[in-house]
Amino acid sequence: MKKLILILILAVVTTALTTVTAQTNGTDNIVGKNYTIDSKLLNEERTIRVYTPDSYESSPEKKYPVIYLLDGQRLFLHGVSVVQSFTSQFQLSPDIIVVGINNKYPDRFNHFLGSEFLDFIEKELIVLIENNYRTTSERLLFGWEYAGAYVIESMIKRPHLFDAHLAASPYPIHEERSENKSRIEQLADKLSSPLSSFLYYTVSANEGMVQDGTNELTNLLENKAPNSLQWRYRVIEGEEHRSTAYATIYHGLRQFYHNYPTLQFKDLSEFKTQGGISYVYKYYKERAKRFGFSEDLTPWTMFSLSRNAIRADSFADFELLMNEFKDKGMINKIRLSRAMSLALYYSKNNKHNEALHIYKQLIIKNSDSALLQNTIGDVYVTLKENKKAKSYYKKAVALAKAQKDAKLVEYKNDLKKIN
């Protein structure tokens, strides 16, 4: 017996040790690939980091926009994290390839002074990426501080190179640089002719000289920016000089891809302020043109708008929206519970026939729903058509019994009331 107990103890200990070993033998967490470019233009080796979305391997025909991050040694992983959350969970943008351009001190400051680094980006880096990856023609460039100022310089000197320019705490932009002019002065000269691009730049609330520059830039753009230049300036509360990069990548991408997500309004007031239903159709038309989506309103947009009218308890707006969406197939494209909530609001406002119209669309695909059957019975009771009500109540009871529905007693009581 003692020998048996000893064997069992040894077996338990061995299993425990094996489990501990398995838990501590981890695997490498690898994000993307590293490349070393022997740059002839910079006369040095440059390290590049590249991330491709999960869909890259599974969708061999698909092409991707690319965001290039200056100071990739610091910001590459953050850029990947933002892009992953945008695409895998929230559908805020298309899938994006992320390229981090590593830099190091003190060379970092020298690179963001002349045109050599732009030559490297255009003639060596972009060539490498576009020869080895499936890319669209859409490119974005992000930089912080000195790199942020360089992002603006790239827009001035080579506006064709990037479609979007995202700059966090750009500095220096209002001090004299090359050509005996500040970058703002150079941009002012550039604005005399059409400049088609997107610029998003930020600063935190207390950045002194940095904010002096961004305020001066804003004044210039407010007075002289052509319609072809889309721009947005944001003072980010609660951040500091060292942290503006992280918020700017997120909000810059949101702004650039502002019409990619399914449209939703926080409330009925925002819907009306934006321009009402005409704005909604315009949004989907522009979205379709830019990203290749259908111009049709999505079921979620139609439902959420109708729900906003319910939340505001504005039956007039609700009825207008429901009439607008009547022939667009919303009812059969949204969840049963959501569709029923629309019918219930009709009933609340004594529009029982309209409620029945919705329920009868739903019953075609949801005949096994005891709740739906019982709810239709409730409407017929209100209309004093007890014979029809009884028929639906019976169906509800039978389904509830078969499905062991917790509401069975409730459905039985409804049936008893009209027997």
**For 31-67, what is each residue's pLDDT tens digit?**
889 999 999 999 999 999 999 999 999 999 999 999 9
Question: What are the C-alpha distances in Å from 350 to residues 78, 345, 356?
Answer: 53, 9, 11
Mean pLDDT (whole number) for 261-277? 97
**In angstroms, rounded to a whole number, what is the distance separating the alpha carbons of residues 150 and 232?**
17
> Do 168 and 161 contact (CB within 8 A), yes or no?
no
Return the domain boundaries, the chain: 33-256, 268-418
> Rounded to 5 degrees, what are φ and ψ at 333?
-110, -10
> Around 10, how many Cα atoms within 13 Å sit in the side-chain half-sphere?
6
What's the Rg (C-alpha) of the chain? Answer: 30
In CATH terms, the superfamily for domain 33-256 is Alpha/Beta hydrolase fold, catalytic domain (3.40.50.1820)
> Which pLDDT value is given to residue 50?
97
Looking at the domain 268-418, which fold is it? 1.25.40
- Predicted confidence band of residue 5 (pLDDT cuts 50, 70, 90): low
Q: Lowest-pLDDT range, 105-119, 204-218, 253-267, 376-390?
A: 105-119
What is the average pLDDT across 307-324? Answer: 98
Higher pLDDT, 29 or 161: 161
DSSP state of 139: E
Per-residue model confidence (pLDDT) at position 213: 94
DSSP 8-class letter at 40 = T
Predicted confidence band at 2 (pLDDT cuts at 50, 70, 90)?
low
3-state SS class at 232: strand
259 exposed, middle or buried (CB, 10 Å; 0-12, 13-18, 19+)?
Answer: middle
Checking if the pLDDT of 284 tops 90, the result is: yes
Evaluate whether 64 touches 134 at the Cβ level (below 8 Å): yes
The answer to whether the CB of 385 falls within 8 A of the CB of 416 is no
pTM of structure: 0.86
Q: At residue 145, does pLDDT exceed 60? A: yes
Residues in Cβ contact with 70 at an 8 Å cutoff, skipping those fewer than 6 apart: 101, 103, 112, 141, 142, 143, 144, 147, 150, 151
pLDDT at 177: 62
Long-range CB contacts (< 8 A, 24+ apart) of 280-284? 280/305, 283/259
